[in-house]
A and B are shown apart, each in its own frame.
Chain A
């Protein structure tokens, strides 16, 4: 090829290329392909996202299964803690019963090496500070339960109890814990065995793990006096035998000497039952502590309380109950007429308003439950008729003004109170301790308010009052020669020189539906299976 031909051929090729470059044919195809890629990318992204969301929903389900399994473990642990021989909780006895066996403030459960409570020995009867009984020693040994329990539906749990006794100043606070790990094995029980390393966390090896911990608290025994608000003690020389507490102010306005003794038994320990060493009673308060004039505290301690304690208002509600939960206003066999006179009328009890109004004559309560909308006695006498050996107490419930029982009786807000200016005689021959203060139990629902607007419980007269009074939202005032029992109210005023804690709690409870321990705190821990050792609570 000559140089000229070569130049011509090159020129032709360039021209052809330029022509092809200038030719736009086929561009639609390119655009279509680009559109296809973009559209498929969008669709794929949408589908991927949705599938991820679906996977998340499935994981949520598995996570919930694991959590329910863990909660089953918590139930297991609490059950074991509550499997205590409560016969050791001998609340009977009393001052005249001859045995200062147990007392409400000093009941301390004992935990064995497995973290299981085996008894309520009263080794703890060495005093109470800040509402917490002392323990003589702390074994400090955690539980040793490590086997897994099948719950079904892919789930199983491992649970461990922890003693939970911790030292707080001179005291040991017993708050046992239950730690449980729940596992969803994804349908393959072999993937989540105890051979899985302890560092296994959620979703490793196909397992979904949730770990939870419940901190338990023992029953909170009733103290001699408890006030959600202020507690006022009036008397020249007050002798009290039990602990008291107030979330608000503590007031002792009189010029007085105050002697408070915690009468914990020492018989269990084989020493003198009246050995006062370490038996100082305690009065705790959340607000200020004021007293007037000469104030000479002797055996008591007065200290700020570490935390407020609020009692739950009682509920008198038979709606939604099982069929057996029908509550008559008067006990079976008790007629309205038997309740005495109402200003010369046939009865003090008015069935149309479900109230008792007494201005004269005698009103006597036989053992049984009385559910009223209001109780007001300004004259006559009010008493119980209970044999000292009776296993049935008098329980008087004052329902709230807005309750279904009372809201339509026309009394409006002028009800819901328990007032007796003539007192309530609950003694046998005027001797305290024979009947037992818990043989008369008064429960006041309240009107929804506390403080000055709350329901009132005023018990006056020159009697010695002996009762278990539970009105945590009400204004409570008890006046008498002496008071024995428990007074729980919002603002509580005790006008009596002698205050005795309830030592004869023959009929302590309203129901048997709660155990010795309840869950005070529940938290979720980092998911670890099996439970970490030696401290299963680490990461909680």
Chain B
């Protein structure tokens, strides 16, 4: 064993350890990002379930935002969900892909006067802190989006003005991880969206047939 061999071996070891370290750093960062993505998803799911529960408990009329946060940036800025509002913060752009926004699929009026807090700071069960945005917009009547007219007219409600279909968009923006130096993604808001309809269609001639027992007396 010569000095040259030892030196070469040491050099190889350094290279290997360096490369491996990079791999592990990458792996660790990716794992952290994955965990945070799961956390963001859990928060988004939880928020949608809360909204559903609220509708069940307090009625469809409460399904609206208590206020609308101001638009924060440009339409192309995907880091802040409020950017999909218009300047007056009265409408919402429904995007096919919120990460890479293009021409909106639809532009819908935001619904206020409800009890949904639009921005909440929530700490997940795993300690991840996030801002949870909840937007409620008046969806275009589902009858006007391609369903057979015979079905819609048979049901009796076809207008978009009844506000019976509301789109709920939840966006979760995670705070930067504390005490971490590596990539703490996801860096973009995580979105979940669904539609919630009025249990008692407003076009009913008499909509007081509900047999809701256990509801708050109002």
A residues with CB within 8 A of B:
24-29, 31-33, 35-36, 39-40, 42-44, 46-47, 49-51, 53-54, 56-58, 60-61, 64-65, 68-69, 71-72, 75-76, 78-80, 82-87, 89, 91, 112, 114, 116, 118, 143-145, 147-155, 187, 189, 219-222, 311-318, 320-322, 324-325, 327, 369, 371, 397, 470, 508-516, 518
Contacts and interface: CB of A to CB of B under 8 A. Distances in A.
25 contacts: A26-B5, A33-B12, A36-B16, A43-B23, A47-B30, A60-B41, A64-B41, A68-B48, A72-B195, A75-B194, A79-B142, A82-B204, A85-B204, A85-B205, A149-B142, A152-B96, A153-B97, A315-B214, A325-B216, A470-B213, A508-B209, A509-B210, A509-B212, A512-B210, A514-B211
Contact of A54 (B2, B33, B194): B33
A114 B151 contact: yes
Contact of B27 (A50, A64, A75, A79): A50
B110 interface: no
A68 B214 contact: no
Interface of chain B, main secondary structure: mixed
A44 B26 CA distance: 10
Contacts of B62: 322
Nearest to B36: A57
A24 B5 CA distance: 11
Given A76-B142, A316-B217, A317-B216, A150 B105 contact: yes
Given A43-B27, A314-B214, A512 B48 contact: no
Contacts of A369: 217
B154 A116 contact: yes
Interface of B: 1-2, 5-6, 8-9, 12-13, 15-17, 19-20, 23-24, 26-28, 30-31, 33-35, 37-38, 41, 44-45, 48, 58-62, 94-100, 105-106, 115, 142, 145-148, 150-151, 154-157, 164-165, 167, 169, 190-201, 203-218
Nearest to B151: A114
Given A322-B62, A514-B210, A515-B210, A60 B38 contact: yes
Contacts of B98: 153
Given A51-B30, A76-B142, A515-B210, A397 B154 contact: no
A277 B44 CA distance: 57
A83 B157 contact: yes
B218 A321 contact: yes
Contact of B192 (A64, A86, A222, A509): A64
B95 A153 contact: yes
A82 B200 contact: yes
B168 to A, nearest CB: 9
Contacts of A71: 194
Nearest to B15: A36
A511 B9 contact: no
A58 B37 CA distance: 8
Contacts of A312: 213-214
Given A315-B216, A511-B212, A321 B58 contact: yes
A112 B191 CA distance: 38
Given A28-B9, A86-B206, A87-B205, A397 B217 contact: yes
B200 A512 contact: yes
Contact of B9 (A31, A43, A116, A221): A31
A318 B216 contact: yes
B156 A327 contact: no
A40 B13 CA distance: 11
Contacts of A311: 213
A28 B6 contact: yes
A312 B214 CA distance: 6
Given A54-B34, A82-B201, A513 B167 contact: no
A147 B148 contact: yes
Given A25-B1, A28-B9, A79-B142, A516 B24 contact: no
B217 A57 contact: no
Contact of B147 (A40, A145, A325, A516): A145
Nearest to A147: B146
Given A87-B205, A116-B154, A82 B199 contact: yes
Contacts of B155: 80, 83, 116, 118
